[in-house]
Amino acid sequence: GDAGLITMARHLTSVMLIAQAAGGLGLQLQLGSRAVPAARQLSIARHAAGELLDRSLHGSDQLQSRLRDLVMSLNEKEEAVLADAEEEDDIAKLKQELYEILDEVPDRGLGADEADMQDILDVAEDLKELVDLTDFEFSPILAGNWRLVYTSSKAFHTNQGLIGYARDVKGIVTPELYMKIEKRYKKLAYEEPITYGEGSLASFFGKVAQAESVRAECTWRTTGDGLMLVVPTQIVAGSRSWEPMDRQAKAMRTLGACRPIFLDEELFILQSQIASVIFIFERS
């Protein structure tokens, strides 16, 4: 009777809601003893709802209306879940392509040939089209520690790093750049570990003497057109600290006003206002 069909329709509605949520989380649901992807679960529910609708042709108008609405809703949810799954698959393929190119590129992009640089930029642009970072500052995965793996910035490579000390101080190199982002107080820190050359006087004299790293403490904010503005407030090396000088402040401008174009649990890609210049960070 109508009561039994309505109960079944309610059950299908619950299945639809659970499957929708699971699809958004990339989970699988249990159907009997088998694990069934959410998109398949929605398809099963949709067909079952259609059969219920056929069986209820002699039922009340109210029941038929509810079942038609359910079938339409299930159709929409199934299409949405399938679209999300396809998008996630596209992102995974593009990231794999990006990693393969980066494996062939030396020293964070220094000396990379034009073909590789263009390929990396093309993949980054394709990833950009698959995400919406309009409100990136509210993303729960923005905060944390990131490590630079690639940049096409000539200024960065000329300065031998972001802060520029390896360029200015003979006998040291800064082979890594780490970025720590805090959302609550809009704090950001860049840190470059220091490697001293054998016999380097810089390890004994000067501002970075005996320091393990040089760190730029900054604040950040977003602009109305989606840029991430970063302002350095203090340079720290070991027990010493000072306000950024002209050359240091200028060097850090390469990352001072970039646009986030891709963000997930593993990668964070920023694009300079010069569109060909990008910075690729991975979670560290």
Same domain, 231 and 122: yes
- 113 and 225 share one domain: yes
Report whether 208 contacts 194 (CB < 8 A): yes
What is the average per-residue pLDDT within 167-180?
A: 90
Nearest alpha-carbon partner for 105 in 96, 116, 121, 97:
116
pLDDT score recorded for residue 162: 94
Residue 259 resides in a domain = yes
Mark whether 118 and 85 lie in a shared domain: no
Q: Is the model's pTM score more than 0.85?
A: no
Using alpha carbons, select from 169, 220, 170, 215 the residue that is nearest to residue 190: 215
Quick: pLDDT tens for 49-94. 666 556 555 556 665 676 667 667 766 665 665 555 556 789 999 9
Q: Which residue blocks in the chain are alpha helix, DSSP H?
A: 2-25, 38-55, 61-103, 114-128, 154-158, 165-168, 246-252
70 and 132 housed in the same domain: no
Whether 145 is in a domain gets the answer yes
The answer to whether residue 99 is domain-embedded is no
Q: Report the alpha-carbon distance of residue 70 to residue 176 in Å, rounded.
A: 55
CATH code of 137's domain: 2.40.128
Least confident of 107-111, 185-189, 236-240: 236-240
- Within this chain, do residues 55 and 115 fall inside the same structural domain, yes or no? no
pLDDT tens digits along 103-127: 999 999 999 999 999 999 999 999 9
CB 254 within 8 A of CB 153: yes
One domain, residues 131 and 178: yes
Question: Is residue 110 located within the same domain as residue 85?
Answer: no
pLDDT band for 177, please (50, 70, 90 cuts).
very high
**CA atoms in the 13 A half-sphere facing the CB of 71:** 14
Average pLDDT over the chain reads 81
How many whole angstroms separate alpha carbon 190 and alpha carbon 258?
Answer: 15
Tell me, yes or no, whether 15 and 58 share the same domain.
yes
Is 126 domain-assigned? Answer: yes
Q: Do 132 and 268 fall into the same domain?
A: yes
Q: Say how many domains are in the chain.
A: 2
Residue 181 belongs to domain spanning: 104-283
Residues 256 and 140 placed together within one structural domain of the fold: yes
Q: Greater confidence, 70 or 31?
A: 70
Q: Does 77 share its domain with 191? A: no
Which one of 66, 90, 114 terminates a domain? 90
Residues 192 and 220 in one domain: yes
